[in-house]
Structure formats: C-alpha cells, structure tokens
Structure 1
Amino acid sequence: MTNFVLVAGTWLGAWAWEEVAGELRAAGHDVRAVTLSGLAGKQGLPAGQQTHVQDIVDEVERLDLRDVVLVGHSYAGVPVGQAAERIGGRLARVVFVDAMVPVDGESALSGWPSEAVREAIAANGFWPPQTAPDYAGQDLTDEQIARIVNGSTPHPGATATEPAVLRGDLGALPTTYVKCLLDGEEPMPVVAELLESECWELIEMDTGHWPMFSRPRELARVLHESATRR
C-alpha cells in the first residue's frame, strides 16, 4: 500500500480528485487529497507560497505518513516540489501532473508568458478563475467544464508571485512527470532539463491539462504504476 497525497492546481481543492482517489483506493492505496489555504473550503485564509508548502508538509507529518507519493497538478507542482524535499525519508516518489516545478528563487509565474496574470493579481490580490470557454480543446465534456468552473475559487495571488525555496537538487528526487499533450507536446524547458536526470521519467497522456476530470481512470493507473517504481 502506498500513501498518496494529491494536490490540485490553481483554483481547485481536494474535491477535484474524487474520481482518481476512488480508483486508487480500489487498488488498495491510502489517499489524502489536500485543499491548500485560501482555496475551496479554505477560501479566505491568508496564504503565500510557503503557506502552501507547509499545508502539504503538515498533512504528511500530522498523519505520520510513510512511503508517500506526493502528486502535484499544475501550479501545485511548485509547493509539492518543495514539500518533497522537506518530508525527507517519508517520500517514496513525486509525481508532477502537467505541472510547474519549483526553481529556487523564482516564482510560479516565471518561465512562461504571464504578464496578464501578474496584472490581474496586482489589481485584485488574486488570480481570477477561468471561464468555460477557456477550457475548450482540453478533452473535457460540457459537464466536466461546468463542474470545474462551478467549483473554482480565486487563487491567492501571493502564492504565485513569491519565490520558491529549494534546499537541494530537485533532479535527485525519484520523480514521474506526466505531460498532457493537448496542453502542448513539449515540457517546459526547466522540466526538459530535469528529465535528463536518471531519477526522472516522462509519461505522456493524450488529454488536456485537467486529466483528473477528463481521464481519471487513466491518470489513476499512471499514479498506481508510478508507486511501484523505486
């Protein structure tokens, strides 16, 4: 049995993993989905990037979890990558699902065209959720899009603009990177560089950026198989 800790990306909470978590539990794993501060049921709580890192570390330590596979989707790859370092020997593997990865001293918005997002955060203090048309072409049904849109909450701006703090080499951690091909066929350059490490592997999924909705069974199978790799 593996202890999976699942963390969804921008605007989402633990609820986004319901189908994937069910599949993993049916396969015999223990699963915890984390809602980060300021999102979903924790909306309104103040949060910076290190708050989100601590949210994840606290969940692992509070439950005294071992043999942990930390899974970060999209933005959540940034705090998950930092948390993976900090839980030490409790970690079995990291899985980044079409995710950003932390770079020491850089924000989550570094490395991609994000000026409009920065302007929105400066004006509002948060990263506004997307609307239904923004999810077109991502292998999602109208029902799935409605579920995402209706469940999304504004994302705390500071978590996206504050710098990551890494203590070691992310490339040295046992890692699976899941690239969702409808969101771009090539990993971002920082990920491509990390994939040169013998500790990292690349898995491709022919779906969009939200596979926990579009392909939950396939994603659960990828996560299950990742747990067997050491």
Structure 2
Amino acid sequence: MTDFVLVPGAWLGAWAWDEVTPLLREAGHGVHPLTLSGLAEKADRKGAPAPGQETHVRDVVDEIERLDLREVALVGHSYAGIPVCQAAQRLGGRLAHVVLVDANVPADGEPFLSALRPEGRAELEAALAAHGGDWPPPAAAALAGQDLTDEQLTLFTARATPHPGASLTEPAALARPLASLPATYVQCLRDHPELRADVAPLVADGHWRLTRLDTGHWPMLSRPRELAGVLLDAVR
C-alpha cells in the first residue's frame, strides 16, 4: 500500500482533492490531502506573520512524520511543487515517489517569483502590494480555457482563498539536484502545451517520467478520474 500525500497549489486547500481521494482509497491506498498554512481552513493567521515557503515545507514534512507514513507518494500541484520537492529531499526512506501536477519546481536560492517572465513578475508584485502582501485568487473569467465546467468554476471561486505572498518571495533551499528525486511530471496540455523549460531537461535526460493530460491547470477538478489513474500508474 502507498500513502498518497496530496498538496494543492496556490489559493486551494485539501478540499481541492475531494474527487480524487475516494478513487485512490478504492484502489487500496492511504490518502492524506493537506492544506498548507495560511490557506483555506488555515487562512486565519490570528495576527501571526504570513507563512513563508519554509513553513510550507515543514507543513508537509511534519504531517508525514506525525502520521508516521511510509512508502509515501508525495503529490504537489502548481505552486506546491516548490515546497514538495524540498520536503521530498528531507523524507529519507519514507519517500517512494514524487508526482508533480502541472507544477512549478524549485531552483536553489531562488523564489517562486524568479521563474516568472518580467511582465508576470511585475503583475504579481503589484497584486501583492495592492492586497496587503497576499496573492488574490483569480476571477472566474481568468480561468477560461482550463476545461472547467460552470459548476467547477463556481466551486473554485467560492472556496479559493488569498495565497500568502511570503511563500512566493522566500527562496528555495535544495540539498541535492532535482534529478535525484524519483519523480513523475504531469503536463496539462491546455495550460502548458510546451513542457516547462526547467522540467524539460530532467525528462529528456531520463531522470523524471512524463505523463500528459489533455486538460487545464486544475485536473483534480476538471478530470479527477484521469488524474487518479495517473497517480496510481506512477506508483505501480
């Protein structure tokens, strides 16, 4: 049995995996959706500073150690690929596989912001400045073309919460090259028709496996059954 730890990306909480979780459990695996600090049901900071990226790394590691999980398939979606890859390097023999779902990946000493094009970085910095240091969720119109039904769009916009900006500006810290991770990368073609430049060499050199899904950036919402199949294939 594999223990899947499912970490959603920006603006989302554990709820984003609600359609995927039962499919993995029906296949006989343990499933542990995780909400990162400062998001969803953990959005109320009670006056505490905004959580940074290291806090999100610790969220993942601490949960796995608290539950004493073994044979862990660590799944990171979108932004969560950055803390997930760092957490994976700290798990030692607990880690079985990493699955990165249309995810960002960390570069040692660099923040999430550094991977954006200049215009995207300027736009995000302006959004953080205008919203007290948080990254506001996108409006429904910005999600067009992502293979989401009206019902799924309504769910997203109703439940998404602002993402703590400190996690986007704090640099990553890698102990080893990403090539050392046993990983599968899931490319969502309607969002990124071309493989990310920082991921392509890892796939081309045979370090990481590549799977493609013909859907948008949030396959846990748009194609939960297909995504569950990909996750199960990754650990077979």
Please give the TM-score of this superposition, normalised by the length of structure 1. Answer: 0.97
Structure 2 CA distance for aligned equivalents of residues 28 and 202 of structure 1 = 24
Which residue does 2:125 correspond to in 1?
Answer: 118
Asked if 1:53 is matched to 2:61, the reply is: no
Please tell me whether the aligned partners of residues 7 and 71 of structure 1 are also in contact (alpha carbons under 8 angstroms). Answer: yes
Cα deviation digits, residues 52-103 of structure 1 (max 9, x gap): 0000000100011000000000000000000000111100000000000011
Q: Look up the equivalent residue of 1:131 and give its one-letter code.
A: A
Residue of structure 1 aligned with 2:192, choices 184, 188, 210: 184
State the shift of 1:122 in Å.
2.7
Partner deviation per Cα, 1:123-147 (whole Å, 9 max, x = no partner): 3210011111011101110100110
Within the candidate set 155, 178, 186, 1:147 is matched to 155
Which of 188-197 and 202-211 deviates more? 188-197
CA distance in 2, matches of 1:130, 1:80: 23
TM-score by length of 2: 0.94
Deviation of the 1:44 alpha carbon: 2.5
Equivalent residue for 2:96, pick from 92, 99, 113: 92
Deviates more, 1:88-97 or 1:120-129: 120-129
How many pairs align? 228
Name the structure 2 match of 1:62: 66
| One-letter amino acid matched to 2:19 | E
**1:3 corresponds to 2:3:** yes
Q: Gapped runs of 5+ residues in structure 1? A: none
The alignment partner of 1:23 has SS state of helix
Q: C-alpha deviations, 1:126-173, integer Å up to 9, x for none?
A: 001111101110111010011011000000000011100000011111
Deviation larger for 42-51 or 96-105: 42-51
Query: What does residue range 1-230 of structure 1 map to in structure 2 within 5 Å?
Result: 1-45=1-45, 46-113=50-117, 114-123=121-130, 124-228=132-236
Please give the alpha-carbon distance, in whole angstroms, between the structure 2 residues aligned to 1:59 and 1:20. 19
Q: 1:147, 1:190 → 2: CA distance?
A: 31
Deviates more, 1:43-52 or 1:60-69: 43-52
Question: CA-atom RMSD, angstroms?
Answer: 0.9
Deviation at 1:39, TM superposition (A): 0.1
How far does the alpha carbon of each residue in 1:105-138 deviate from its partner, in whole angstroms, 9 at most, with x for none? 1111222222201121133210011111011101
Could you tell me which runs of 5 or more consecutive residues in structure 2 were left unpaired when the two chains were aligned.
Answer: none
Please identify runs of 4+ aligned residues in structure 1 that moved more than 4 A.
Answer: none
Question: Which deviates more, 192-201 or 42-51?
Answer: 192-201
Give the deviation of 1:198 after TM superposition.
Answer: 2.5
The SS at the match of 2:228 is helix
1:129 maps to a residue whose letter is P
| Whole-angstrom CA distance in 1 between matches of 2:104 and 2:152 | 23
Conserved 8 A contact 1:172-1:197: no
1:187-211 deviations in Å (ceiling 9; x for gaps): 2211112223433011000000000
Distance 2:113 2:202 in 1: 18
- For residue 113 of structure 2, give the secondary structure of its aligned residue in structure 1: coil
- Quick one: distance in 2 between partners of 1:79 and 1:64? 19
Percent of residue pairs identical? 59
- Larger mean CA deviation between 88-97 and 188-197 belongs to 188-197
